[in-house]
Amino acid sequence: MAITGNYYGRTSDGKEVYSYTLENAAGMRAVIIEYGCTVTELWVPDQSGNLRDVVLGYGTLEEYEQGNAGMGAFIGRYANRIENACFTLNGKTYALEANNGPNHLHGVLGHRVFQGRIVKEGQGEDEQQRLVLTYKSPHGEDGFPGNLKITVTYTLTDSGALVMDYTAATDAPTIVNFTNHSYFNLDGQDGVSIRDHVVQIDAQEFCEGNEQTCPTGRLLHVEGTPFDFRTAKPLGEGLDSGDSQIVMAKGYDHNFVLDKSNGMLELAATAYSAQSGIEMKVYTTQPGMQLYTANFLQGAGKGKNGVPFADYQAVCFETQHFPCTPSHPEFPPVELLPEEEYHQTTAYSFAVK
């Protein structure tokens, strides 16, 4: 794998931003910018051998700055929602920005400039390269306690996987939950809908959501519901089902409880498009995954092709700890202590089926 860096632009407050192109031996390539560790392009060979850019994105840095859809971005300090925009830790309550109705959603890290560097290991044919991006989130940023040192590492394997590795360390007790918010369309970023994308998810339960898409605390079994992806099926079946959970969220925007060993990098989901022949497999160490069918993408701006985004144009597979965990102590814990290291890995692997 080879990585090259180039000047990308300057933010509205004057910070320089660089882009990095990762390319493997098969010609697959990913483009990542320091602004939000954002995946702006992901070119994957289809069944005819032609490369397709399978992630949505904007055409300019200014649009990434102004956008609020998390387009391709690294998300944190807390991915997904925190109910009522506050949480209590060790007896102290911390107030966050209410940026999604009364709740806190995703945080500001997708709008921060990380410091990128290319790391090389080995020599000659054995040389390996990876992109390492770092950011120090100060105590109180977004309302969260602790100075948090964050490292995001991207690797593109010759077998066709974009690997995202997250680590973090804090100097005070805090909560952490990271994800990536790439919007996938396996027909290419010009694709108009993901209704025909066939999806399989290794999960027997999902989090019931309330009218604000926050978990109620109930874990519902998928059997007999549109959330049963244990056998692969098109997303459109559930989107058109009339199920009350689907109607309330205007589509899928739910956390799936993954069937997996704690902390192991294992298969979580598969997506396939017959039109392109591209199959994507999602591997993760995380306990949950938010399936989001871009229910509110219309009005989020224009894509790289200049065409306005549309609802259901893409699908997100956001590996994560569960939303609103501070309100539900029975969920897998998200606390991080100074003597601990946060470490999670997710890989999006592509092949032609």
Q: Give percent of the chain above pLDDT 90.
A: 95
pLDDT of residue 101: 94
The amino acid sitting at 353 is: K
**Cβ density class 308-319: b for 16+ within 10 Å, e for less:** ebebbbbbbbbb
The predicted structure's pLDDT at residue 5: 98
Q: Is 18 annotated as a binding residue?
A: no
Q: How confident is the model over 8-55, as pLDDT tens digits?
A: 999 999 999 999 999 999 999 999 999 999 999 999 999 999 999 999
**Do residues 129 and 163 make contact, with C-beta atoms less than 8 angstroms apart?**
no
What pLDDT shows up at residue 126?
A: 75
**Contact predicate 248/211, CB 8 Å:** yes
Could you tell me the CATH number of the domain that includes residue 258? Answer: 2.70.98.10
Query: Does the annotation count 181 as an active-site position?
Result: yes
pLDDT digits (tens, 9 = 90+) for 339-350: 999 999 999 999
| pLDDT of res. 346 | 99
pLDDT value of position 122: 83
pTM: 0.97
Q: Extract the tokens encoding 161.
A: 């996987």
Interval 99-150: pLDDT, tens = 999 999 999 999 999 999 999 988 877 788 999 999 999 999 999 999 999 9
Q: For 156-176, what is each residue's pLDDT tens digit?
A: 999 999 999 999 999 999 999
Q: Which two tokens stand for residue 167?
A: 């680590």
Q: Residue 183, annotated ligand binder?
A: yes
Domain count, the chain: 1
C-alpha distances (whole Å) from 303 to each of 64, 137, 316, 318 are 11, 29, 16, 20
Q: How far apart are CA 278 and CA 196, in angstroms?
A: 13
Q: Out of 83, 318, 321, 328, which one is annotated catalytic?
A: 318
Owning domain of residue 13: 2-352
Q: How confident is the model at residue 196 (pLDDT cuts 50, 70, 90)?
A: very high
Question: Which residue is catalytic, options 104, 111, 181, 254?
Answer: 181
What is the average pLDDT score of the chain?
Answer: 97
Q: Does 104 belong to an annotated binding site? A: no
Q: Is 182 annotated as a binding residue?
A: yes
Tokens found for residue 350: 């592509």
Q: What is the DSSP track for 95-136? A: E----BTTBEES-SGGGSB-EEEEEEES-GGG-EEEEEEEEE
Q: Is the dihedral of CA 34, 335, 348, 234 positive or negative?
A: negative
**Separation in Å, CA 239 to CA 58, 190, 194, 220:** 26, 21, 10, 18
Is 130 among the annotated ligand-binding positions?
A: no
CB 24 within 8 A of CB 128: no
C-alpha to C-alpha distance for 251 and 107, rounded to whole angstroms: 23
Whether residue 260 is predicted with pLDDT greater than 90 in this model: the reply is no
H/E element, 209: strand 203-209
Q: Mean of the pLDDT values across residues 262-290?
A: 97
Give the model's pLDDT for residue 14: 98
197 is a catalytic site residue: no
**74 - beta bridge partners?**
180
**Is the distance from CB of 23 to CB of 44 less than 8 angstroms?**
no
What one-character DSSP code corresponds to residue 62? Answer: H
Omega into 52 within 30° of 0, i.e. cis?
no
Give the chain's largest Cα–Cα span: 59
